[in-house]
Amino acid sequence: MSWDFETDPEFQKKLDWVDEFVRHEVEPLDLVWPHDNYKPLDDEHRRIVDPLKQQVRDMGLWGCHLEPALGGQGYGQLKLALLNEILGRSTWAPVIFGTQAPDTGNAEIIAHFGTPEQKATYLQPLLDGEIFSTYSMTEPQGGADVSGFETTAVRDGDDWVINGSKFFSSNARYATFFIVMAYTDKEAGPHDGMSMFLVAADTPGITIERNLALIHEPAEEGSEAYIRYEDVRVPSTALLGEEGKAFQVAQVRLGGGRVHHAMRTVGLAQRALDMMCERALSRVTRGRSLAERETVQSYIAESYAQLTQFRLFVLRTAWLIDKTQDYAQCRKDISAIKFLTPKVLHDIVQRSVQVHGALGVTQDTPLAKMWITAPVMGLVDGPTEVHLRQVARAVLKEYDATDSLWPTDHIPSKLAAATAKLGMA
């Protein structure tokens, strides 16, 4: 029987380097440029950012989710989870390591399903970190309900013509191209009638109506786009993957992404716990440190246990994906860690805010941004309620109803059976 909770020593050396590098070289960018991490780089940014990216490349850690043929290491989900735990501390870290969303997922599906022409046009510049992309799937009237989607792509000779609206297309204002999901056969329904398209951002007919800001962002920095597609004409070569197979394409993109989100949240929650412990040891009230107060000790103990449980669950899910090589087979656990993510982050950050007192609700610490990230994580890649339902359904499939009037563990019935079996009736 093999059961091991240790990281391979050679990989641990890399993780140790990443931890030091992120803390000392990357986290300063979060303070100096808090809203610039997904913007195209100007000369001032390049002076700082490009050398950092080069250090990551020199360590063989650039775009680690990609296969070696694409310039990555081909790391499985378990190694990626351990790496993302560290990157979760910093908003700039994913960009510096070539693993920023939505570009990682977009690169992955182009690598899996793209034609040689599509890869040459979009994939390599994306892998090099020279351009950004957006994933244009959600619709304002549909939300998480894909059956309510209305965007269509209709054949017109050798072209496709796209019409409809999309909502929360992250980073569209800075993207070079969009990946757009649209109905190509409405009668076939959402799971068999939708297709994916690669659409250049400057294609006529695309209008960004608004760039919504998340609740922790200044309004002018918003990058969650509300987009109108009006007679957007693209060639037949814009089809990504097979016609009608958008959901199969999306599954490759979303499965790993949810693990990455969860593990980055582990890193962020750990930072909140670190801050809580430091504050508890440093702050003295009425002659005693906060660390000596039973309530604060409870906060710390609960946070430690909650985070450790969650971390192990995420790592086990990543391990299971590597073992089965089948995201569909792991869907139950992927959904479970997805709906746990916002709760774990909220609970630990909330306790840390309490221990910091009035300082915790100001913008003088990162806790306010961490706290408001929790509800955001409850909606990213599908709302919590959808994933709760999916997990419940998957768990119930593993059980059968009883035909008896009484439950299987009805003690009088079992006692009668036991005494009969033992010849005591």
Q: What is the DSSP string of 57-74?
A: HHTT-TTTTS-GGGTS--
Distance set, CA 43 to CA 46, 126, 204, 302 (Å): 5, 19, 30, 46
Mean pLDDT, residues 70-88: 89
Mean pLDDT, residues 329-350: 96
Burial class (CB in 10 A: 0-12, 13-18, 19+), 175: buried
Q: Summarize pLDDT for 258-302 with one digit per residue, the tens.
A: 888 999 999 999 999 999 999 999 999 999 999 999 999 999 999
> Backbone dihedral region of 185: left (phi > 0), alpha (psi from -120 to 50 degrees) or beta?
beta
The whole-number pLDDT of residue 257 equals: 80
The whole-number pLDDT of residue 127 equals: 82
Between β-strands 177-183 and 133-136, what pairing exists: parallel, antiparallel or unpaired? parallel
pTM: 0.89
The whole-number pLDDT of residue 1 equals: 63
Structure tokens at 384: 């919590």
Q: Is pLDDT at 255 greater than 90 in this prediction?
A: no
Q: Summarize pLDDT for 373-399 with one digit per residue, the tens.
A: 999 999 888 889 999 999 999 999 999
| Omega prior to 366 cis, within 30 of 0 | no
